[in-house]
Structure 1
Amino acid sequence: MVLERPWLASYPAGVPQQIDPGEYPSIISVLQSSLEKYRDRPAFSHMGRSITYAQVDAYSRQFAAYLLGELKLRKGDRVAIMMPNCLQYPIATFGVLRAGLTVVNTNPMYTARELKHQLVDSGASAILVLDNFGRTVQEVLADTQVTQVITTGLGDLLPFPKGAIVNFVLKHVKKMVPDYDIRGAIRFRDALAAGERHALPSVDIAPDDIAFLQYTGGTTGVSKGAMLTHRNLVANMQQASTWIGTNARMGEEVIITALPLYHIFALTANCLVFMKFGGHNHLITNPRDMPGFVKELSKVPFTAITGVNTLFNGLLNTPGFDKLDFSHLSLSLGGGTAVQRSVAERWKQVTGCTLVEAYGLTETSPAACINPMDLEEYNGSIGLPVPSTDACILGEDGRPLPAGEIGELCIRGPQVMKGYWQHPEETARIIDADGWLHTGDMARMDEKGFFYVVDRKKDMILVSGFNVYPNEVEDVVAMMPGVLEVAAVGVPDEKSGEAVKVVIVKKDPALTEEQVRAHARENLTGYKQPKYVEFRSELPKSNVGKILRRELREEAVA
């Protein structure tokens, strides 16, 4: 197709039309550059402790040496990391990558069923897990290929006695660490000490090597691993950093990281891009504790913050937030789910900083479109395609549509994933022969090249920025003997953007709403669990017997 690129004329001053994805051969080469430039600068802070770039260098080198020297892992082997935001996360991640291995980011809130699928599918050889979630790992370990478990406590890298107190309170006072017993498990600190005994061999990391297996839901209900290569992520780092770099001060940025680093948004935008900038990441473990979050913010002269709509909305509605010092804040970036106009306008009013919306997918590493950093006001758009990225709107016939018309948004660029791990048929379905990734999002482009998402082609439900696929929810609920038929749909929700609703036809008249909820709690992560449960005598269906989720959604909205 002949592609016009009207967005290039709308690019902010200083932003190039192209990036060089080959400038760095790997994520580690970008890291090494930052380690040399910013050695003495704080890189990550958590619960009052900061570690410098030099310490990230030393610790990640030790962990890499442990994985290769002690565990004898080989290039390309997968290592799962199952933890919230804490100092161990970036150390372990950079260690795995330095060893030429692949990071399997694992949501620590997964149920045993979900964790087992991911570990088996990825073929992970080792897993690093926070104590709070050790019992879940213990439950599934025998059914996986995992040969080594590495455990750690939230306070393990904090100075004595604070670290010991944090671990004691979490386990014995707050009861947040269930007992578990994993034979042969090693503590993270001991793994680092073991790594010190080994020299880290030179590992040749190629651009096409898989850096991350980033799991995302599928329309079939099966979670699939997006193969994100070093080239994909280096390209996206380059794209995002040239875009927001016009608004950034190298070696001086202080960014608040409240979104989990195991999620692609914070992984790339906060951890990788700001590492390239020599930025200082303040890690927030539990942003749901809004008063505690605001208290943390009061201690930090932060220059940047990323989040989803619900996070920004939650802060705005927490007492004391409007009293914070926003004089240093120059970047507020929203993504993961649509930013609501009312939230963006109030954010600007309270902080004086425009909430800039961006758009991406796990499959695009994730940034595909970002609004200009010099945007005066929220504009309802997802922005312009970033450098070296093409975007188009395709009609039902697969042909490009003119400006203003609604069709499927498709993306092409060096940040588009290699494909889905061990799912060639799913890869071929989403990436066509010309390299276009079909997003499943319905959108339009205006004359200046700004894109606007209007709806989703898929039935995907977006809860606080996390993808929930109806088939998975339906499969879990349908496991109940008392359920005859079930449909899951997304319905509007003030707090999370959308919430899951299940509509059930009973097989057993005695089936109750609480039984459904209890079953869901046991088998689904919190954000996937139905907020609403409705019983009906029948579900709307097409003439071939397909359940019409669309009708259920429209009824719920009405």
Structure 2
Amino acid sequence: MTMDAAAPQTPALRPLTHTSLGAMLADSVKRHPERDAFCNMGAKLSYKELDRLSAAFAAYLTGALRMKKGDRIALMMPNLLQYPVALYGALRAGLIVVNINPLYTPRELEHQLQDSGATAILILENFVGVLQEVLGNVPVQHVMVTSVGDLLGLMRGALVNAVLRHFKKMVPPWWLPGSIQLKAALKEAQNKAWQDPVLRREDIALLQYTGGTTGLSKGAVLTHGNVLANLEQAAMVVEPALTDISPIIMASPLPLYHILALTMNCLLITRLAGTSLLITNPRDIPAVIKDLGRYPVNCITGVNTLFNALANHPDFAKLNFSSWRLSVGGGTAIQQAVAEKWLKVTGLPLIEGYGLTETSPLVCTNPIQNKHYTGTIGQPIPGTEIELRDEEGHIVPFGQAGELCVRGPQVMKCYWKRAAETARVIQEDGFLATGDIAYQTETGLYKLVDRKKDMIIVSGFNVFPSEIEDVIALHEDILEVACIGVPDARTGEAVKLFVVSTNPNLNEAALLSYCRERLTAYKVPHQIEFRQDLPRSNVGKILRRELREEELAKQQQAKEMAEAEIA
């Protein structure tokens, strides 16, 4: 590791005590069977109930559906009590979980189901219409459907479902012959004898999809051992802040299909035998604040945009933060103004970390005892090595920028069915090339300065320009297209599109409508600029870099003019 004498040393990782994620759950069930494991919409699921329901789900998958170890099952839903039941049930059965964003368009969903080879899917009824459009083109054989209120209790569940279906009209009509209701599946299998199979740390737990430079998402193969190691690493980081708390209550506004929330708010909280407060709709800030006020929350994870929205809402400042101990930010850089406002309102610093899907995901974090904003990603978590390398793979001198490469037990096994892509990023010595450029400060902390690739991060979600460009290029009136990220006060970055059109009547509204039909909302461009041509290199490659430089120059000029007018 590149480090000067003053830099902090990375501690070794403690020995792992479990061989699988199912065994980890069993340990927490044994220690605290009556403790709440997950809460959602006023309903609670104890560890004993989680054990019972996940065992029933596992029994149904392997019995009625005849699924076997290594088969893939897709989960497509927001934060509901059904998610941990299905996740742990599938893992206990030896299946491989494929998390899917429920807001995906048919095109995106079809790719992920085809690529993963998932033969079963559990989906919230609100999104069945999207699945219907692609079902004939994917290997899915079994469709299980759940409703929001399924595990909220008889009266509360019926009321919630009625409101969503008949008053809010949030469940579009659908008809899927042969589909299975989750409640019926759990009831059928509840009395089936079940014993978890023997699983090893080398067995695959997750195909967690990430973006790629080609525009096609890739499945990071994460084993039980990868994830267990990252959970132990995370536990070593957060435990000093939570030594006087039992049970730990963690607010979970980020969707569990996102790797950060999956690790911290679902799996780690189980490892710590704590309680996860699942928030189904994090965009409803008033509702989020009400939920946070109902429970003596100890910690929260989130992204910059969420922290910003909460800190600037007048009702949030009225909460009692006396029980709060830890605020962890990830997914994208935490802005200094947001960190300072958060500290002022809550009395807690925002602890910024760094990770990626391929590393389960945690790699670095700032020391939890920090009381001020550092603007860095901190230092490696226990058992993790970092090297900064140049284009030839050599370690750069201290203080110079290089590609951040990481080695540790949390690094993925490979990309699913992509040997060439795997070989490109995982070096012979086991280091993963992240594509991010960083340097090390005098205090030993790492600071990101650029991304080697052109990835755009919108509210913590990865957006890859090639994917956007590939979709836009299919439009009959588009001759050329380029996509970049531009700074945005609300989402961190926003997508800007530059197009050369063959149709002078094509306008921004029409192109945006085209995008909304084919792209998830956070990938839809916020700005579109029509041009006569786009900058190119000598070999004809469109230069996104020049477009970014032009945009930054425009923003700097606008800022200077505004300051001059004030003066």
Q: How far did residue 208 of structure 1 move?
A: 1.2
Q: How far did residue 396 of structure 1 move?
A: 2.5
**In the alignment, which residue of structure 2 is the partner of 1:286?**
281
Instruction: Find 1:54's aligned residue among 36, 48, 54.
Output: 48
* 1:74 corresponds to 2:72: no
Aligned residue identity for 1:149: V
- 2: CA distance, partners of 1:94 / 1:397: 43
Q: How far did residue 180 of structure 1 move?
A: 1.0
In structure 1, the residue corresponding to 2:45 is in which secondary structure?
A: strand
Q: How far did residue 319 of structure 1 move?
A: 2.2
**In the alignment, which residue of structure 1 is the partner of 2:169?**
175
* 1:10 corresponds to 2:8: yes
- 2: CA distance, partners of 1:492 / 1:248: 35
For the 8 Å contact 1:70–1:194, the answer to whether it is kept is no
Instruction: Find 2:546's aligned residue among 543, 548, 551.
Output: 551
Q: How far did residue 175 of structure 1 move?
A: 1.4
- 1: CA distance, partners of 2:218 / 2:446: 27
**In the alignment, which residue of structure 1 is the partner of 2:194?**
200
In structure 2, the residue corresponding to 1:175 is in which secondary structure?
A: coil
**In the alignment, which residue of structure 1 is the partner of 2:139?**
145
**In the alignment, which residue of structure 2 is the partner of 1:518?**
513
- 2: CA distance, partners of 1:215 / 1:171: 31
Aligned residue identity for 1:358: G
Aligned residue identity for 2:328: L
**In the alignment, which residue of structure 1 is the partner of 2:529?**
534
- 1: CA distance, partners of 2:194 / 2:98: 22
Aligned residue identity for 1:549: R
Matches within 5 A, 1:204-353: 204-249=198-243, 251-353=246-348
- 2: CA distance, partners of 1:459 / 1:4: 26
In structure 2, the residue corresponding to 1:70 is in which secondary structure?
A: coil
- 2: CA distance, partners of 1:293 / 1:185: 33
Q: How far did residue 333 of structure 1 move?
A: 0.3
Identity of aligned residues (%): 52
Which string of whole-angstrom CA distances, capped at 9 and with x for unpartnered residues, describes residues 20-43 of structure 1?
24x321111211111111111101
Q: How far did residue 17 of structure 1 move?
A: 2.3
- 1: CA distance, partners of 2:394 / 2:441: 17
For the 8 Å contact 1:7–1:385, the answer to whether it is kept is no
Which string of whole-angstrom CA distances, capped at 9 and with x for unpartnered residues, describes residues 233-275 of structure 1?
0000010101111222464111100000000000001111111
Instruction: Find 2:492's aligned residue among 494, 497, 509.
Output: 497
Instruction: Find 1:27's aligned residue among 21, 26, 36.
Output: 21
Which string of whole-angstrom CA distances, capped at 9 and with x for unpartnered residues, describes residues 409-428 of structure 1?
11110000011100110111
- 1: CA distance, partners of 2:443 / 2:411: 24
Q: Normalization by structure 1: what TM-score?
A: 0.97
**In the alignment, which residue of structure 1 is the partner of 2:564?**
none
Aligned residue identity for 2:179: A
Q: How far did residue 511 of structure 1 move?
A: 1.3
Q: Which runs of 5+ in 2 are unaligned?
A: 554-567
- 2: CA distance, partners of 1:348 / 1:418: 38
- 1: CA distance, partners of 2:205 / 2:452: 30
In structure 2, the residue corresponding to 1:32 is in which secondary structure?
A: helix
**In the alignment, which residue of structure 2 is the partner of 1:377?**
372
**In the alignment, which residue of structure 2 is the partner of 1:426?**
421
Aligned residue identity for 1:105: N
Q: How far did residue 16 of structure 1 move?
A: 4.0
**In the alignment, which residue of structure 1 is the partner of 2:557?**
none
Which string of whole-angstrom CA distances, capped at 9 and with x for unpartnered residues, describes residues 44-96 of structure 1?
00000011010100000000000001100010000000000010000000000
In structure 2, the residue corresponding to 1:208 is in which secondary structure?
A: coil
Aligned residue identity for 2:253: A
Which string of whole-angstrom CA distances, capped at 9 and with x for unpartnered residues, describes residues 376-411 of structure 1?
212111111011100011123321112211111111
Aligned residue identity for 1:140: V
**In the alignment, which residue of structure 1 is the partner of 2:384?**
389
Instruction: Find 2:436's aligned residue among 432, 441, 445.
Output: 441
Aligned residue identity for 2:473: A
For the 8 Å contact 2:2–2:387, the answer to whether it is kept is no
For the 8 Å contact 2:219–2:416, the answer to whether it is kept is yes
**In the alignment, which residue of structure 1 is the partner of 2:466?**
471
- 1: CA distance, partners of 2:126 / 2:527: 28
Instruction: Find 2:477's aligned residue among 479, 482, 489.
Output: 482
* 1:136 corresponds to 2:130: yes
Instruction: Find 1:191's aligned residue among 185, 191, 216.
Output: 185
Which string of whole-angstrom CA distances, capped at 9 and with x for unpartnered residues, describes residues 152-210 of structure 1?
11111112322111111112211111111111111111111122242224412111111
Aligned residue identity for 1:35: V
Q: Normalization by structure 2: what TM-score?
A: 0.95
Q: How far did residue 276 of structure 1 move?
A: 0.9
Q: How far did residue 372 of structure 1 move?
A: 1.1
Q: How far did residue 9 of structure 1 move?
A: 5.8
For the 8 Å contact 2:7–2:445, the answer to whether it is kept is no
- 2: CA distance, partners of 1:264 / 1:241: 16
Q: 1:114 to 1:7 in 2, by over 3 A?
A: farther
- 1: CA distance, partners of 2:197 / 2:5: 40
In structure 2, the residue corresponding to 1:74 is in which secondary structure?
A: coil
Matches within 5 A, 1:387-426: 387-426=382-421
- 2: CA distance, partners of 1:235 / 1:8: 27
For the 8 Å contact 1:482–1:506, the answer to whether it is kept is yes
**In the alignment, which residue of structure 2 is the partner of 1:121?**
115
User: Larger deviation: 480-489 or 27-36?
Assistant: 27-36
In structure 2, the residue corresponding to 1:393 is in which secondary structure?
A: strand
Aligned residue identity for 2:158: A
In structure 1, the residue corresponding to 2:33 is in which secondary structure?
A: coil
**In the alignment, which residue of structure 1 is the partner of 2:556?**
none
Q: How far did residue 448 of structure 1 move?
A: 3.2
In structure 2, the residue corresponding to 1:382 is in which secondary structure?
A: coil
For the 8 Å contact 1:339–1:357, the answer to whether it is kept is yes
In structure 1, the residue corresponding to 2:122 is in which secondary structure?
A: strand
- 1: CA distance, partners of 2:128 / 2:407: 40
Q: Which runs of 5+ in 1 are unaligned?
A: none
Q: 1:9 to 1:489 in 2, by over 3 A?
A: closer
**In the alignment, which residue of structure 2 is the partner of 1:93?**
87
Aligned residue identity for 1:444: Y
Which string of whole-angstrom CA distances, capped at 9 and with x for unpartnered residues, describes residues 123-168 of structure 1?
0010000011011111111111111101011111112322111111
- 2: CA distance, partners of 1:8 / 1:447: 7
Q: How far did residue 447 of structure 1 move?
A: 3.4
